[in-house]
Amino acid sequence: MGEKLKVGIVGGTGMVGQRFVQLLDQHPWFEVAAIAASAGSAGKTYEESVQGRWKLSTPIPEDVKKIVVQDASKVEEVASGVDFIFCAVDMKKNEIQALEEAYAKTGTPVVSNNSAHRWTPDVPMVIPEINPGHLDVIAAQRRRLGTSTGFIAVKPNCSIQSYVPALHALLDYKPTKVVATTYQAISGAGKNFADWPEMLDNVIPYIGGEEEKSEQEPLRIWGSVNGGEIVKANSPLITTQCIRVPVTDGHMAAVFVSFENKPSKEDILARWRQFKGRPQELGLPSAPKRFITYFEEENRPQTKLDRDIERGMGVSTGRLREDSIYDYKFVGLSHNTLRGAAGGAVLIAELLKAEGYIQAK
């Protein structure tokens, strides 16, 4: 592979930023060269900046402990030392949009975990196994931003990873209606039980903004590139409820679906087991060997047992059966901070590298 690409993590002290630090430790293609955060963390070592708020079970990687955190707002300074950045900041939408565009305009690719640019027409929102062709829109985005090398690519919402892959494998049968209820881990809010004790022994039937994202983002994923922008699909019709449940990691979905051309159960299971995408074809480092795993047991997948399948990058399904109102129902599960957040973004960066969009400066 040669020399590793130098990565900056903007928003590196938060929970998703910590996941990036963890996942990039010993990565075969990338190495952390810079970490940036708010002005309050700037000037401290990374170890000092996350003292008392490191949320992961593994220790802080040795290679990053002594990196001095930079001020994320000093864009030129941060960008000068890296080949591309991951962005996972907690700011207002318009502030994130401006910050990410500022980095892109320095000629630095931005792989974003944030939602701010998910509906910018020329920004690809990618699940690498599903819509890698959307990267074609980057050429139009670069023209708009006035850069030959910089751009922004984003990952979609964590909630949709638990059911969109399973539906995508069945698109040939033309799903028409989808009902999904998601049961979402507290890490999706950037918290653990120490931060959020009121979640113990509790379920909250509301997650702000999540249902709109869960209903609309799949249609953008299934959209097409036309005239330098992404045009979203107009079907299937999706309705969701998103519920916060007392688990640390892992988003589960209970899904009901009807099709224009109803497949057999055997057809569905064969599609799920055989499904591969571009990451599997390219053998990308973070790609799961099997993207979708189906469990025959009636009580699987389970969040605690199965969220880490394929190093947290696989998607699990189970309980596929015919329904009395819809054609079928099933359960899906994905790891929300691995496949759904930092891991998904690392996989996007690997795809961008493999396809020539990210290169050494």
Q: What are 287-321's pLDDT values in tens digits?
A: 999 999 999 999 999 999 999 999 999 999 999 99
Given 87, 117, 134, 158, the catalytic residue: 158
pTM of the predicted protein model: 0.96
Average pLDDT, the chain: 96
- Structure confidence at residue 212 as a pLDDT band (50, 70, 90): very high
Kindly tell me if the per-residue pLDDT of 53 is higher than 60.
yes
Q: Average pLDDT in the 121-125 region?
A: 98
Kindly tell me if the per-residue pLDDT of 359 is higher than 70.
yes
Q: What are 258-295's pLDDT values in tens digits?
A: 999 999 999 999 999 999 999 999 999 999 999 999 99
Decide if 168 is catalytic: no
Parallel, antiparallel, or unpaired: how do β-strands 315-322 and 292-295 relate? parallel
Q: Average pLDDT in the 139-156 region?
A: 98
Given 134, 168, 251, 335, the catalytic residue: 251
Decide if 242 is catalytic: no
